């Protein structure tokens, strides 16, 4: 039976049709055979919109939500085994400074994720005007706490704080975010192994592995060169023996470069920047971008889209991650995985 799969890169129609789907799914299922095409424009960027059979498109979707659930189930088993065998429960500590709503949401989601797999969570909340010394004191306390195996400082920090000083103060043995310079340095060097890999790029590579995407010898393009995603993603692809090119804001003719790529990881934070015309037929696309786009019909007045125009790209690519539901769930899954790995390493548990 055909079902409705809705993909749209630049209009507010997504939320409208999803809303209609909740009210009258049977009618929409009957009407979804064939294809409806609209042209819409937001901020001067046009993108096609279609309703198609899910059977035709589902094989192309890299389902990060499903993979993350599988990984969390695996972690739950290991956490339980560790507790029963040696009486140790992995622990993750989060330090939140200030009252940013988005940061508070991220921290709350991480806490729920910990609870779902049996990892113990610790949390310190500090005021926006707290001193850097207060944050460092919290970091030091968790460094010395044997029940804590991973420490995460929620970013961004207030502007009066030196972010690098604080991140560098986290014990490398508990740096489950993977941002410590020694971890990044080891990641960059052949023959060295980092204790931890940054969670989002690690999740990108894990998706490629779980979907049996061959990386060795392939041409890979990473769009974006941030310390958090772009740079470590490029290093990880290089470790997998891909030939890697990084595209950034000063790159000339990025379309020509991406058209040569077998694998694209985009982490630039620009909605729908990567068009279908940029993509080599059969390429595999990992979209890290989570960009809010105005949508008056959405409950919050906006919806989320990726860096890649999904509708255009999905017609050309052999596989693609959706936004949301692609890389996002993998980031937290990798954080939980790194915390478990840390606890096992510290307690020499196999």
Residues 6+ apart with CB under 8 A from 218: 242, 243, 262, 263
Distance of alpha carbon 330 from alpha carbon 338, whole angstroms? 12
- 81 burial (CB, 10 Å; 0-12 / 13-18 / 19+) is exposed
Nearest to 244 by CA among 273, 207, 204, 276: 204
Cα(23)–Cα(8) distance, rounded to whole angstroms? 20
**Which positions are annotated as active-site residues?**
110, 154, 177
CA pair distance 282, 237, nearest whole angstrom? 18
Considering only the C-alpha atoms of the chain, give the largest distance between any 2 of them, rounded to a whole number of Å: 62
From residue 73, alpha-carbon distances to 64, 79, 80, 251, 328 in Å are 14, 10, 11, 41, 17
Cα of 44 vs its chain's centroid, Å: 27
Asked whether the bond before 240 is cis by omega within 30 degrees of 0, the reply is no
Q: Whose CA is closest to 198, among 74, 94, 337, 329?
A: 337
Please enumerate in sequence order all residues whose Cβ is within 8 A of that of 278, keeping only pairs 6 or more positions apart, or say none: 254, 255, 258, 259
């Amino acid at each position: 039976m055909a079902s409705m799969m809705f993909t749209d890169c630049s209009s507010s129609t997504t939320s409208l049709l999803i809303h209609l789907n909740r009210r009258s799914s049977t009618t929409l299922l009957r009407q979804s055979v064939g294809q409806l095409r609209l042209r819409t424009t937001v901020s001067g960027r046009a993108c096609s919109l279609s309703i198609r059979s899910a059977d035709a498109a589902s094989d192309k979707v890299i389902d990060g939500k499903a993979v993350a659930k599988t990984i969390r189930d695996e972690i739950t088993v290991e956490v339980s085994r560790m507790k029963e065998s040696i009486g140790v429960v992995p622990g993750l500590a989060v330090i939140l400074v200030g009252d940013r709503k988005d940061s508070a949401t991220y921290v709350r989601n991480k806490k729920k994720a910990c609870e779902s797999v049996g990892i113990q969570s610790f949390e310190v909340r500090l005021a926006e005007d707290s001193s850097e010394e207060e944050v460092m004191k919290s970091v030091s306390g968790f460094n010395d706490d044997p029940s804590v195996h991973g420490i995460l400082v929620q970013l961004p920090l207030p502007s009066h704080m030196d972010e690098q000083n604080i991140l560098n103060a986290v014990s490398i043995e508990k740096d489950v975010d993977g941002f410590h310079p020694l971890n990044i340095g080891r990641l960059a060097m052949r023959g060295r192994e980092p204790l931890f890999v940054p969670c989002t790029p690690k999740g990108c590579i894990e998706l490629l592995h779980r979907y049996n995407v061959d990386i060795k010898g392939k041409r890979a393009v990473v769009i974006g060169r941030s310390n958090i995603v772009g740079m470590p993603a490029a290093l990880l692809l290089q470790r997998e023996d891909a030939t890697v090119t990084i595209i950034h804001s000063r790159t000339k003719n990025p379309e020509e470069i991406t058209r040569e790529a077998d694998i694209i990881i985009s982490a630039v934070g620009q909605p729908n920047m990567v068009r279908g015309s940029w993509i080599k037929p059969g390429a595999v696309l990992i979209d890290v971008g989570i960009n809010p786009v105005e949508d008056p019909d959405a409950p919050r007045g906006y919806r989320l889209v990726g860096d890649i125009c999904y509708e255009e790209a999905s017609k050309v690519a052999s596989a693609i991650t959706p936004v949301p539901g692609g890389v996002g769930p993998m980031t937290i899954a990798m954080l939980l995985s790194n915390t478990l790995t840390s606890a096992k390493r510290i307690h020499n548990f196999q």
